[in-house]
Amino acid sequence: MTATPVPLEPAHVVMMYNANELSDDEIALFNDKHAPYSMERVDTDLTAMYSMLAAGTQLDIYRLYGTFVPAHNSRHIIKDLTPYFDVSDILKPDDLFGVNDLFVDRGNRYGMVKDWSPDVSIFVNKSLWEEAGVTPPEPGESWHLTDWRALSEKLTVKEGDQMLVWGTDFTPNEHFLFWLTTTFDPPRHLFTDDFSEVVLLNDPDTYEVIQFWLDWKKEGGLPSALNPHIAGWSGQDWVVRGAATTMWGYWFSGMAESEDVPGEDISMLPAAKWGPNYSNPCVTGCGAVVTSTTKVPDAAWKVFEWFMGEEPSDNRAKSGWGVPGLKSQVDLMPREEPWRQQCFDLVQWEVENTTVPRMTYSPYIDPDAFKAAWNKYEEAVLRDEMILDEMLETVEAEVNEAIQEGMERAGVA
């Protein structure tokens, strides 16, 4: 005798996500396909998220970068999804790329990436290199950041004080230190072993990296407060053919082709090395988590599972805006044009050759706190109004104070 499935009880799920990442048509599809479960989307706003949770307003799923997971878990605001992953036929643990471990904290899995990229890849506009008489490295050729800096000067085009083409056009969406410390031996992060302090001034390797990038900015080789972008940010500079190179992950292939930059001009290169280990990690890993306060956990999981492994996930994989979080969806990535095939092939190479597939961050502080402290003082150093040691000492003090507060909230201080 076959058991009769128990009918699902109606349940409504509120998901905080960006409109360009979850369409009205996809939401309508879910509501039809998975009735009596239903869902709605609200715009991403982490400040509003904290207010909603504090007020008891329904919020079941929200958009989050993986580097924020340890801090959100220490505040007990995200739900352990390990039991759901363990029995899922759609999000199978052995089908998850390693970067999904950005959402693992203290052995438990709290979410996964919606898509991801090896984030330190370098996109080259081949026609601008040809006009400058410079030969780009081959896609599999190892090169150093000092090599890139030297080539960048030859690729830069100016008319008086006006920048026409940046040799290197790059402003990280978090901070360059997140990228570069992973290439040391052994792979590194910015904190003490117990993550209770950030260490910048007294770590010779990290100090050297900081000095390298700030000197490059001071000399005008990178956009900064002293030398602004041509069209607002590095991606738009590239689109209008104002960047010979830019350092973004595979996701950038979603916007790399434009009226001024045809596909035949595009090449994606591995990361430039700094230390002895090659690595091109996923730096932040955008994905989703379920709130610990959800009153509809099973329905929330069904929305999560659908968003991460069914139609929305398929659509993202086909778009070229990121590598899917599931290994089984890799074949959906675009390869119809030679330049897209080259990007695809390089991603496969990165998966095999990257020493550190993901970043490691302190569980007691949001990455934004580090970014805010750094950004308060960088311009003063670039203008020689503050010495570097003073800046690093001040940033350390502010970040470590925030870490201490986070440890107290987590009950470990």
Contact 198, 396 (CB under 8 A): yes
Q: In the chain, pLDDT over 70 holds for what percent of residues?
A: 98
Return the pLDDT at 274. 86
Which pLDDT tens digit goes with each residue over 138-169?
877 778 999 999 999 999 999 999 999 999 99
Peptide bond into 223 cis (omega under 30): no
Number of H helices, E strands in the chain: 14, 14
The residue with tokens 């993550």 is: 195
CA 45 to chain centroid, in Å, comes to 17
The answer to whether residue 1 scores a pLDDT higher than 50 is no
E strands, 176-313, where? Answer: 245-247, 266-269, 286-290
Handedness of CA 343, 347, 353, 354 (dihedral sign): positive
| Interatomic CA distance for residues 31 and 261, integer angstroms | 40
- Maximum mean pLDDT: which of 6-20, 172-186, 196-210, 387-401: 387-401
Return the pLDDT at 186. 74
CATH 3.40.190.10 fits 11-117+284-353, yes or no: yes
Q: Of 67-71, 187-191, 370-374, give the lowest mean pLDDT range.
A: 187-191
Contact 281, 359 (CB under 8 A): yes
Contact 263, 133 (CB under 8 A): no
Return the pLDDT at 187. 78
Q: What is the pTM of this model?
A: 0.92
Instruction: State the angle between helix axes of 388-409 and 204-218 in degrees (0 to 180), rounded to the nearest 10.
Output: 120
The answer to whether residue 72 scores a pLDDT higher than 60 is yes
| Interatomic CA distance for residues 91 and 249, integer angstroms | 24
State the pLDDT confidence band at 58, using cuts at 50, 70 and 90.
very high
| Interatomic CA distance for residues 354 and 271, integer angstroms | 10
| Interatomic CA distance for residues 59 and 41, integer angstroms | 10
Burial string for 239-275 (b: 16+ CB within 10 Å, else e) reads bebbbbbbbbbbbbbeebbeeebeeebbbbbbbbbbb
State the pLDDT confidence band at 4, using cuts at 50, 70 and 90.
low
| Interatomic CA distance for residues 218 and 216, integer angstroms | 6
The answer to whether residue 317 scores a pLDDT higher than 90 is yes
Q: Of 3-12, 172-181, 276-285, give the lowest mean pLDDT range.
A: 172-181
The pair of structure tokens assigned to 133 is: 């008489």
Q: 3-class SS at 198? A: strand
Q: In the chain, pLDDT over 90 holds for what percent of residues?
A: 80
Q: What angle do CA 302, 304, 308 make, to 5 degrees?
A: 120
State the pLDDT confidence band at 76, using cuts at 50, 70 and 90.
very high
Domain positions in the chain: 11-117+284-353
H/E run at residue 308: helix 297-309
The pair of structure tokens assigned to 207 is: 């100090």
State the pLDDT confidence band at 200, using cuts at 50, 70 and 90.
very high
